[in-house]
Structure 1
Amino acid sequence: MTNKRLYLIRHGHTVWNGPPLRFQGQMDSSLSETGRNDAIALGKRMPYQPDRIISSPALRCRQTVDCLFGRRPDEIEPRCIEIGLGWCEGLLATEAAEIDAHAVRTWQEAPWEGSPWGGESLEVLQKRVVAGVTDIVAGIKADERVFLAVHGGVLRTLICYVNDLPLSEYSNIEMPNLTLMELAAEAVMRGGSNIRPITPEEMI
């Protein structure tokens, strides 16, 4: 049986991605000029318009879809929003460090150890992301081309799950803005699905 294919992308560079870095989490921030231009350029390389586009509810993901394909998402998947970062959302990293330097250091050095600022843990993020993506994959029809715009944290935890990696590998997974990935699977399974970075030219 032919695997279903879901194409996923991290949103473009935002005004909060810095420098200076501002913690985004689930708060909205707009694409920067660089982010918009890069997404438009990438969109020109896309081989086709997807049959269905799904997005995180975050503004930066919806703007990325518009820059790539010149249209709005067909669906919003709330379970694919970025990790909730609690009280530090919207703060510069330096501002958060002035409030609680230990919390910032813990998140930067060992984010898998929990949420140092009252937000979500990576385990909670991974659980809801896997549930959301599982439902999306289950709903893909034969020969349907489906595209999902999400976040770096969402993609990292999904990669850990399908490759059966511990969440301690989270920080070792490089995820630049506009990273494009392909998930090929009949179902989302721990250690049983194929997810890989691709270029637009490799999209089927």
Structure 2
Amino acid sequence: MNSKKVYLIRHGQTDYNLQSIVQGSGVDSELNARGWQQAQQFFEAYKGIPFDKIYTSNLQRSVQSVQQFIDLGIPHEKYEALNEINWGTREGTRITPEEDEYYRNILQTWRDGETSICIEGGESPELVSERQKPFIEHVLLNRPEEETVLICMHGRAMRIFLSNLLRYPLRCMDQFLHQNLGLYQLEYTGSMFTVKRYCDVAHLR
């Protein structure tokens, strides 16, 4: 494969995002009104891109964010590999000051390089990375006929995904910022990915 263009976005806003409730892979929430508006704005900005394939997680907020592209007839596949990290016992709970302290500690643990440590009852960055790698190798990089693809997934999982694509150690994943319906545009030249747009939200008004 000589080249590939990847448009990578995070899903639109949900009420859980708005209320600071942890979602993860175990909470299958829908987009709220603002999330649907963001999806519409992204569609209007990028509907002219000739996408060959759309990939999403299994979670409906991911699918809903690109539904208008799917409705155009662009082929679409869902992969569990693109699901959000499993946040374990914290999923479905509102973040309190005590929870904030726990999260700060676990995130600092990961930044310190201990990325094999799982959050209580959930996954570690390394576990998420390992489920993503077969998708990258056997799907994303092994279908040369799909020259331009759109991928919609989730914040923490996207940080891990970008670390994998760009060959960064997982301890550096927090440098990849994300916002609801923010875009990373990447290009693969046959040997490596490069970033053309970094968390671009110019399409959101």
Short-chain TM bin: 0.7 to 0.9
Distance 1:179 1:200, change over 3 A: closer
Between the aligned partners of 2:201 and 2:175, the Cα distance in structure 1 is 24
> What aligned pairs does 1:26-105 form with structure 2 within 5 A after superposition?
26=25, 27-46=27-46, 47-48=48-49, 50-67=51-68, 70=71, 74-94=76-96, 97=99, 103-105=102-104
Task: For residue 29 of structure 1, give the secondary structure of its aligned residue in structure 2.
Answer: coil
One-letter code aligned to 2:121: G
C-alpha contact (below 8 Å) 1:31/1:63 kept by paired residues: yes
Instruction: Give the root-mean-square deviation of aligned CA atoms.
Output: 2.8
Distance 1:77 1:45, change over 3 A: same
C-alpha contact (below 8 Å) 1:50/1:147 kept by paired residues: yes
Match of 1:3 in 2: 3
One-letter code aligned to 2:169: P
The alignment status of 1:117 with 2:120, answered yes or no, reads: yes
Question: What is the CA deviation profile of residues 64-90 of structure 1, one whole-angstrom value per residue up to 9, with x for unaligned ones?
Answer: 011455468621111110101111111
Match of 2:162 in 1: 159
C-alpha contact (below 8 Å) 1:65/1:71 kept by paired residues: no
TM-score when normalising by structure 1: 0.80
One-letter code aligned to 2:63: R
One-letter code aligned to 2:79: E
Question: What is the CA deviation profile of residues 13-49 of structure 1, one whole-angstrom value per residue up to 9, with x for unaligned ones?
Answer: 111112x301110121111211110110120111235
Task: For residue 44 of structure 1, give the secondary structure of its aligned residue in structure 2.
Answer: helix
Q: Report deviation, 1:158.
A: 2.1
Choose from 174, 183, 189 the match for 1:180.
Answer: 183
Question: What is the CA deviation profile of residues 136-158 of structure 1, one whole-angstrom value per residue up to 9, with x for unaligned ones?
Answer: 22343336432111111222112
Identity value in percent = 26
Task: For residue 15 of structure 2, give the secondary structure of its aligned residue in structure 1.
Answer: coil
TM-score when normalising by structure 2: 0.80
Task: For residue 43 of structure 1, give the secondary structure of its aligned residue in structure 2.
Answer: helix
C-alpha contact (below 8 Å) 2:3/2:147 kept by paired residues: no
Q: Report deviation, 1:96.
A: 7.2
One-letter code aligned to 1:104: Y
C-alpha contact (below 8 Å) 1:83/1:154 kept by paired residues: yes
